[in-house]
Amino acid sequence: MKLLLTILFAAASVAAQTPSPTPEFSDSDAQSRTAPEPAKPSASPIPVADLKKRAKVAKVDDELLLGYDKFKDKTSIFTKPQNIVSTSASIAVMMVDSMATGRYGSGRTSGFPTSLTFSIGYAFTGDAMRETPDKFALIFNSNSRGWVFLKGDQHLYFLLGEGQRLELEPAAEGRDIYAGYSHVSVGEMLGFVITREQLERIVAGGKNVELRLGSTIPRHMQSGWTKRVKALLDFTKID
């Protein structure tokens, strides 16, 4: 969560501040690689309390997570994490990896994550949204038996149809190791900066859009994923 919020704050444009060309991330495992452009200012700020009411009225409070940290004076809005690895695929990977790391196994794991969640968000300083953001943070979190991304391909690829392609380079990364009862697993985090226009193209493409993170299995955008992205875009737009 610390890395997630760090990238969200870095991807967000802070009102009345000029972003540094090479901002530093406070997380010791994160490395900054790009500086997003400022969002467009608005003359109609919306307080956090009104944002929460707006979410309920728009019936998107089940799709989005909205939080305000009064100690840091920071507000974050992002989609609820979505796992893009199916239950059946997760079980299959766990079985293969268990046999590989067992007493008579080869020791080589499948190279696929058992879970891969993504969340898209925006964050800003203060308790009122004063601008329509042009850039968002796209966060992937994975769990696996081995290093899938940080020792391999870290780019994010989209096929948008009609020969249109989108490739994103990670803006930040993080990692962790978990020691379980019978095995050790690793967590990997990759953060990307994505524009509103790019997200709108993804939403417009719907199920025709394919995505692939690194060398993992390509996946079509599901209606549930698209619904949350659209909810975020609509919710963070100030007229």
Is residue 5's pLDDT more than 80?
Answer: no
Output the pLDDT for position 147. Answer: 75
Task: Report the candidate in 176, 170, 192 with the shortest Cα–Cα distance to residue 27.
Answer: 176
At residue 140 the predicted structure's pLDDT band, cuts being 50, 70 and 90, is very high
Q: Among candidates 211, 199, 206, 202, which has minimal Cα distance to 78?
A: 199
How crowded is residue 72: how many other Cβ atoms within 10 Å of its Cβ? 10
Per-residue pLDDT tens over the stretch 54-66: 898 888 888 999 9
Asked if residue 78 lies in contact with residue 8, where contact means CB atoms within 8 angstroms, the answer is yes
* Cβ–Cβ under 8 Å, residues 189 and 27: no
CA distance 80 to 193: 17
Mean pLDDT for the chain overall: 78
189 or 43, which is more confident: 189
pLDDT digits (tens, 9 = 90+) for 148-207: 887 778 999 999 987 899 999 999 888 888 766 656 778 889 999 999 999 999 999 999
Q: How far from each other are the two terminal CA atoms of the chain, in whole angstroms?
A: 31
What pLDDT is attached to residue 100? 55
Label residues 10-46 b or e (16+ Cβ within 10 Å = b).
Answer: bbbbbbeeeeeeeeebebeebebebbbebbeeeeeee
82-104 pLDDT, tens digit each: 998 877 777 776 676 566 555 55
pTM listed for this prediction: 0.76
Nearest of 137, 179, 107, 170 to residue 4 by alpha carbon: 137
pLDDT recorded at residue 216: 86
Residue 235 has a pLDDT of 92
- What are the DSSP calls for 53-118, one per residue? HHHHHTT-TTTEEEEEETTTTEEEEEEPPEE-S-HHHHHHHHHHHHHHTSTTS-S---S--SEEEE
Compare 209 and 15 and report the one with higher pLDDT.
209
Pairwise pLDDT comparison (33 vs 139), residue with the higher score:
139
Minimum mean pLDDT range among 27-31, 71-75, 80-84 = 27-31
Where are the domains positioned within the chain?
2-235
Q: pLDDT tier at 28 (50, 70, 90 boundaries)?
A: very low
How far lies 71's CA from each of 15, 100, 183, 216, in Å?
Answer: 18, 47, 38, 39
